[in-house]
A and B are shown apart, each in its own frame.
Chain A
Amino acid sequence: MTLLLALDSACASCSAAVWQDGEVLAHKFEDMPRGQSENLMPFVAEVMKKSSIDFPDLDVLAVTVGPGAFTGIRICLSAARGLALATKKPLVGVTTMEALLVAQDLSNFQGALVAVVIETKRMDYYIQFFDHNGMSMGEPEALLASSIAKKFETLSQGKQIFLCGDGAERLKQEAIVADCEFEFGSENSQPDAGVFGQVAMDKYNAMGRAAFEIAPAPLYLRPPDATPPKPKFLFKAAGH
């Protein structure tokens, strides 16, 4: 029996869940564009209490690592890394792409090209491509609609394109591709600990505890906005 605690605040929601093997013992989810740093730990406390689990009873922890909102990623990842330090439990990182994909039922989309699309609140999109079995066809990337349209053409080869994630609707408007049929996933466009806990459970069972002793790193997909100022002559002695 494996007991797992999963948490997320990487996009525009906040959730926590306790899992026992393939079953959710307690679960809390709310759409939440802001305020996750206030609510995440009370959510965790609540699901732990509801499932009558104490922290020492847990076998493993799970958290989303991004891509998503920078601050949101740091909120859940710093909390999860803190929990891992306190409990000395392994911590499994799950990408938001994996988290959103597992919520989708792909059984009616044989042969489709699958794309998980996450809103960046800028021009571009966070996107990752998968085949109809959910096998990844590359790493998550930050891409503009024009590059995504090209990828659609080469990767889909006229097949159906299945889109999910909270960037899917905007992308459909912007990525103009001839002869492509778009299908949309179910409404679960936010990561949910009560759903993606399964991904972490599978990873943990497949790879074992030792694979998750080192805390996962954030996946931002974008360097910080900062440009160094140009140096100008001021004083001969300066800089020493």
Chain B
Amino acid sequence: MLVLGIETSCDETAAAVVSVKDDQSSGEILSNIVLSQLDDHRPYGGVVPEIAARSHLDHMDSIVERALNEANLELTDLDAIAATTGPGLIGGVMVGMMTAKALALAANKPFVSVNHLEGHALTARLSEDVAFPYLLLLVSGGHCQILCVRGVGDYELYGSTIDDAVGEAFDKTAKLLGLEYPGGPNVEKAAASGDPHRFKLPRPMVGRPDCDFSFSGLKTAVRQQIEKLSEDERDAQALADICAGFQLAVGDVFADRCRRAMERFRAECGDGHALVVGGGVAANKALRAVLTDAAAAQNMRFVAPPVKLCTDNGAMIAWAGLERLRRGLTSDLNVAAKPRWPLDSLKID
């Protein structure tokens, strides 16, 4: 089974081909082309939707062509064409979705509409053998939630952020510190040489019985700490120490929230299952280490897909499309793009 996947919901123009053999559960990536628009957006300190949409259109067809060439395939060889149809920046989503619909119609192949979050949610099954059910921590620039993944299309939300997403918190903290966009990787880099205990930062939501998150208070606390520093004190070490303190706080929050979620998950689903992390923030090594320990403490296997499959890419969309296709879940060409589309609203009839 061969599926082309297209992703344009934020600032990556991406296309990929994945395959799976009939007797296997995990897949193989035949090509995975990602064109990042980072340089286009950097001067603005964040993604500008209209700039993103224009760039997606300029590059989409050649990215698809490269994905096919690299996989050594023609469109006619494929079994389906999948694309992100939301959630995300709608102008960009439209470009990928229309391209996919056109390819599907002209090549007479099924079109599979994919929820971007479902792409993140199922990625672990592309790179490794992970059976349902599993517990998913989905942490990206726009999302921060813990879900019980019972099957394709079957997600139960355990908890989510009540304000900022965690990637957003990384990005805003970076902005406060004057670090370039996107902040996440730069905060991690700076944190490596910092003392995480020099600045006292809160651990929002820790100890609460639910599985929710909150990060806006943490960002505010970072700003207050910065404001206390004189201009002279604002040196490279202070910057590193703040980053380290921030990252440690996020790690503590992750550990506590995931422990709650794992307890609930084990009560509902039993033992022997995995904690899976997905989304751009899963690229953070310190946070991965925290999650590894947290899972071990609950006797759960910890699965983190390779970094290049955690940030936005076409392979995760191709894979989610493939998982849908093999359950017969294809879509009509009149599907609408959705700016908002919670994962727990995905119903399979």
Contact = CB atoms under 8 A, between A and B. Distances in A.
Interface of A: 35, 37-42, 44-45, 55, 70-71, 74-87, 215, 217-218, 220, 224-229, 232-239
Interface string B181-201: 000000000100000000000
What is the size category of the interface that chain B forms with chain A? Answer: 35 or more
A45 B335 contact: no
Contacts of A236: 234-236
A15 to B, nearest CB: 15
A37 B94 contact: yes
A88 B116 CA distance: 29
Majority SS of interface residues in chain B? helix
B86 to A, nearest CB: 11
Given A236-B234, A236-B235, A79 B180 contact: no
Interface in B18-70: 43-45, 48, 50-51, 53-54, 56-58, 60-61, 64-65
B177 A235 contact: yes
A215 B58 CA distance: 10
B178 A239 contact: yes
B116 to A, nearest CB: 16
Closest 6 CB pairs of A and B: A82-B102, A234-B178, A238-B178, A237-B236, A86-B106, A224-B50
Contacts of A70: 50, 53, 91
B284 interface: no
A228 B43 CA distance: 6
A238 B239 contact: yes
Contacts of A71: 53, 90-91, 94
Contacts of A41: 98, 101-102, 105, 333-334
Contacts of B333: 41-42, 45
The secondary-structure label for the interface of chain A is helix
Nearest to B96: A78
Given A42-B334, A236-B234, 16 more contacts: A37-B337, A38-B334, A38-B336, A44-B105, A71-B53, A78-B56, A81-B57, A82-B60, A82-B98, A82-B101, A82-B103, A85-B61, A86-B106, A226-B51, A234-B178, A239-B178
Nearest to A40: B98
Contacts of A40: 98
A75 B96 CA distance: 9
B238 interface: yes
B57 A78 contact: yes
A148 to B, nearest CB: 25
Nearest to A236: B235
B216 to A, nearest CB: 20
Contacts of B318: none
B91 A237 contact: no
Contacts of B334: 38-39, 41-42
Nearest to A55: B106
Contacts of B57: 74, 77-78, 81, 218
A75 B99 contact: no
Contact of A87 (B61, B106, B234): B106
A82 B106 contact: yes
B179 interface: yes
Contacts of B61: 81-82, 84-85, 215
B263 to A, nearest CB: 40
A154 B187 CA distance: 59
B295 interface: no
Interface in B321-339: 333-337
Contacts of A85: 61, 64-65, 103
19 contacts: A38-B334, A41-B101, A42-B334, A45-B105, A55-B106, A71-B91, A75-B94, A75-B98, A81-B57, A82-B64, A82-B100, A85-B103, A86-B102, A229-B44, A233-B178, A234-B178, A235-B178, A235-B234, A237-B235
B239 A237 contact: yes
B68 to A, nearest CB: 9
Nearest to B232: A236
Contacts of A82: 60-61, 64, 98-103, 106
A238 B101 CA distance: 44
B95 interface: yes
B109 to A, nearest CB: 9
B94 A235 contact: no
Contacts of A39: 334
B314 to A, nearest CB: 15
A220 B64 CA distance: 24
B53 A226 contact: no
A74 B94 contact: yes
B48 A224 contact: yes
Contacts of A76: 98
Contacts of B336: 35, 37-38
Contacts of A78: 56-57, 60, 94-96, 98-99, 102
B268 interface: no
B80 interface: no
A34 to B, nearest CB: 10
Contacts of A81: 57, 60-61, 99, 102
A85 B61 CA distance: 7
Nearest to A58: B106
